[in-house]
Structure 1
Amino acid sequence: MNTKYEPLFKSLTLPNGVELKNRFVLAPLTHVSSNDDGSISDIEIPYIEKRSKDVGLSITAASYVEPLGKAFPGQPSVSKDADIEGLRQQAEVMKKNGAKAVIQIHHGGAMSLPGLTPNSDVAAPSEVEVKGFGQQEKHTARALTEEEIEHSIESFARATKIAIDAGFDGVEIHGANHYLIHQFFSPYYNRREDKWGDHLKYPVAVVDAVTKVVQEHGAPDFIVGYRFSPEEAESPGISMELTQKLVDVLSEKPLDYLHVSLFDIHSKTREGKFEGETRINLISEWVNGRKPVIGIGSIFTADDALNALNTGVELVGIGRELLLDHEFVAKIEQGKEDEIISEFDPERTDLHELPEPLWKQFNAGFYPLPRKDEKSTTN
């Protein structure tokens, strides 16, 4: 190994005492490959096993906690006892080579797809029109009732118990990317005038419900993480000033890490009093060592990973790159970083060893990423 990359392979101990073997994290990646009922499919198992084998922490695709929250075709479920057997198989292969296996628990809220939810029903903090995953036209989400809000919180708690029963090492609460928890935190999506109009109330309620289940049913070393988006383009939307409040609250909760969802880890704040400052640097400063922070966004080479770690985060999330080359981490460790595959090649006969539904999305230019041909890389 080139000695400059050694910091990426140092172990890290989480607040609950769990030791991660290195600083690499398999990011939660939408793969559209689960069975229609949300159960784990045969093609998912080898897919995630290959991408978990060299990282310290491995996170599943966003898994819906109740049918109303299903936001992607081929999305996995963590909503019912019947899911446990498939999830158990998934957890086993994720942990096989020493990674800690974490399942991301998720609710689409307004972004749930009418064609996938019961009775085509879609609900959010407030009524809103949105365009969901892969959709050409907008759909309308109605406002959740207070009873439904309470039920959704219970669904996150139930999903946590299912994750424990399935043998996962932890859960990641998906509070990012315009999904339900994000929506409650956002002034754009949440215009409620009842108690749930407090933008911090729902995220905190979910965290408290999840950690309560862990305290009652999980082992002391069960991991709980939280993912969030620090800023959004909508107006009035989530600002870095609002995110500073969220970070301060989350940093005092019994969480084991915070995961910052960024398309580019070096991106800068777009407006407000922090305009022009690098988001990940601000967040690391606000967390101030109280929790490990995962940074992510457009990391395709060994130097990208090292530069990400050098921003001050403790862990580096690798997403699209581990889809392109599941040996990314191993190649760095073996001093073969020049052999890393960092472009999508539609001519590869092995399809980058991706499930066919995911490869088709890559080939269609659905995800922005480097590629060998000239097809558009924007959705």
Structure 2
Amino acid sequence: MTQQFLEPYHFANGLTLRNRVIMSPMTTMTSFYNGMITTDELNYYSARAGGPGLVITGVANVNALGKGFEGELSVASDDMIPGLHRLASAIQQQGARAVLQIFSAGRKSNHQILRGEQPVSASAIAASYPAGSETPRALTEAEIKQLINDFGTATRRAIQAGFDGVELHGANTYLLQQFFSPNANQRTDQWGGSLANRMRLPLAVIDEVQQTIAKYATRPFILGYRVSPEEIETPGIRLADTLAFVAQIKTKIDYLNLSMGSYQRTSLNDKADTEPLLAKFARTLNHAVPLIGIGSVETPADAAAVITGGADFVALGRELLREPQWVQKVAAGDAAEIRTTISPADLDELAIPPVMQVYLQNSFASVMHFTTDQQAATNYQAQLAPMEGFEKKL
């Protein structure tokens, strides 16, 4: 019997995926200094696009102040379109649909990365982690309106580059989340204060992107949104806030993507609540819009559990680094040969770019299951994982 996650999926706008496995967006740190795509990145994506139904790229900044780290992809100017077209084509030629994830890092940047400019955010409040984060300046009303426009312009470029959609990165403590967060956003104007006001920027960006898609797309083009369910700071985003936000946007987007280190994640703030967050979001969406379940999915049993838990799609991140042929092996009944560990000696063979190799071994060693790591794997059911905003940058 075919696993449900291997069955095709048809979006309401006509876009079809060959299966319900998603390649999760992952940082490569391999783009050129100005954000243009490199051959190493093209090879990396091409090696993994032969199995999933959809590949979501690592983040691309929508403007110069949105850059969060070196080696980051950019969609901030029309100069990027030819390279982005090569990226979309490299993915689509292997049979997967291609979605470009777009964002602004906000206060999760620094003056060195921004070439002397001060980071920006909702308010002039430094992030609580990592230690020593720089204090940003608060965006002005005019800059907020320009930011909204920049997300729309980035979407137009993604359409012209041939992508099948964009995903707004509203997770991992980046700028869209910063405006939604009572920790980062302590404004007293229309963009801050109440929950409704803190939703205002993400909702405005979604509306701008929708209008851009309606204006420029000549074939099915989807809009996804990624959220982090909770923050651990006080004050900070709580689960009820995010569920309320999701209820607001579910008629405006084509899918919702969660950012969690484990698909079995329970509340980080309410330890008495043992219901998986996946089930809570599935209940809120009630399949009105598809939900991507994610986090520590390694085996077909994990993938099946994500679907059983209420998700419509299952996303693989680290596992597709270890095993680019995951989908093909499962489909062929060869799951016993799936790699769930990875040897540092195999990174070149797996088409993982050299800079990304260093990044994985330095910042993500605890979650990669390296064969040289003698420590037991960490369970992220009840704690944040490095990829949720704790990662250190090179």
Q: TM-score range by the shorter chain?
A: over 0.9
- The equivalent residue for 2:276 is 278
Q: Distance in 2 between matches of 1:338 and 1:346?
A: 21
**8 Å contact 2:62–2:74 — kept in the other structure?**
yes
- The equivalent residue for 1:201 is 200
- The equivalent residue for 1:302 is 300
Q: Distance in 2 between matches of 1:67 and 1:218?
A: 25
Q: Which runs of 5+ in 2 are unaligned?
A: 378-385
**8 Å contact 1:309–1:316 — kept in the other structure?**
yes
- The equivalent residue for 1:360 is 358
Aligned to 1:347, the other structure's residue is in SS state helix
- The equivalent residue for 1:336 is 334
Q: Distance in 2 between matches of 1:152 and 1:362?
A: 31
- The equivalent residue for 2:96 is 99
Q: Distance in 1 between matches of 2:69 and 2:110?
A: 7
- The equivalent residue for 1:289 is 287
**8 Å contact 2:127–2:184 — kept in the other structure?**
no
**Cα distance per residue 1:110-142 (max 9 Å; x no partner):** 11232121433201001122377xx76321111
**Cα distance per residue 1:6-56 (max 9 Å; x no partner):** 212111111212111101001111000000010001111110111112111
Instruction: Name which of structure 1's ranges 270-279 and 47-56 shifts more when overlaid on structure 2.
Output: 270-279
Q: Which amino acid aligns with 1:203?
A: P
Q: CA deviation at 1:203?
A: 0.7
1:213 aligns with 2:208: no
Q: Distance in 2 between matches of 1:326 and 1:200?
A: 37
- The equivalent residue for 1:124 is 121
Q: TM-score, normalised by structure 2?
A: 0.90
Q: Distance in 2 between matches of 1:60 and 1:347?
A: 25
Q: Which amino acid aligns with 2:135?
A: T
1:178 aligns with 2:178: no
- The equivalent residue for 1:142 is 137
Alignment of 1:48-67 (within 5 A): 48-67=45-64
Q: Distance in 2 between matches of 1:26 and 1:166?
A: 20
- The equivalent residue for 1:40 is 37
CA RMSD in angstroms, aligned pairs only: 1.8
Matching residue within 48, 55, 76 for 1:79 = 76
1:372 aligns with 2:380: no
**8 Å contact 2:3–2:304 — kept in the other structure?**
no
- The equivalent residue for 1:232 is 231
**8 Å contact 1:111–1:131 — kept in the other structure?**
no
Q: Which amino acid aligns with 2:248?
A: V
**8 Å contact 1:295–1:308 — kept in the other structure?**
yes
Matching residue within 157, 160, 167 for 1:162 = 157
**Cα distance per residue 1:241-297 (max 9 Å; x no partner):** 1111111111121x2111111111111013359833211100000001110001111
Distance verdict in 2 for CA 1:186–1:20, change over 3 Å: same
Q: Distance in 2 between matches of 1:355 and 1:24?
A: 23
**8 Å contact 1:266–1:278 — kept in the other structure?**
yes
Q: Which amino acid aligns with 2:322?
A: L
**Cα distance per residue 1:169-195 (max 9 Å; x no partner):** 111111111000011111111111000
Q: Distance in 2 between matches of 1:272 and 1:266?
A: 15
**8 Å contact 2:230–2:237 — kept in the other structure?**
yes
Instruction: Name which of structure 1's ranges 117-126 and 288-297 shifts more when overlaid on structure 2.
Output: 117-126
Q: Which amino acid aligns with 1:336?
A: D
Distance verdict in 2 for CA 1:274–1:196, change over 3 Å: farther
Q: Distance in 2 between matches of 1:215 and 1:86?
A: 24
Aligned to 2:126, the other structure's residue is in SS state strand
Q: CA deviation at 1:331?
A: 1.0
Q: TM-score, normalised by structure 1?
A: 0.94
Matching residue within 185, 192, 212 for 1:190 = 185
Q: Which runs of 5+ in 1 are unaligned?
A: none
**8 Å contact 2:43–2:351 — kept in the other structure?**
no
Aligned length: 373
Instruction: Name which of structure 1's ranges 153-162 and 114-123 shifts more when overlaid on structure 2.
Output: 114-123
Aligned to 1:171, the other structure's residue is in SS state strand
**Cα distance per residue 1:74-120 (max 9 Å; x no partner):** 00000100000100000001111221111001100111232121433
Q: Distance in 2 between matches of 1:315 and 1:349?
A: 27
**8 Å contact 1:68–1:118 — kept in the other structure?**
no
Distance verdict in 2 for CA 1:16–1:126, change over 3 Å: same
Aligned to 2:342, the other structure's residue is in SS state coil
**8 Å contact 1:15–1:291 — kept in the other structure?**
no
**8 Å contact 1:66–1:155 — kept in the other structure?**
yes
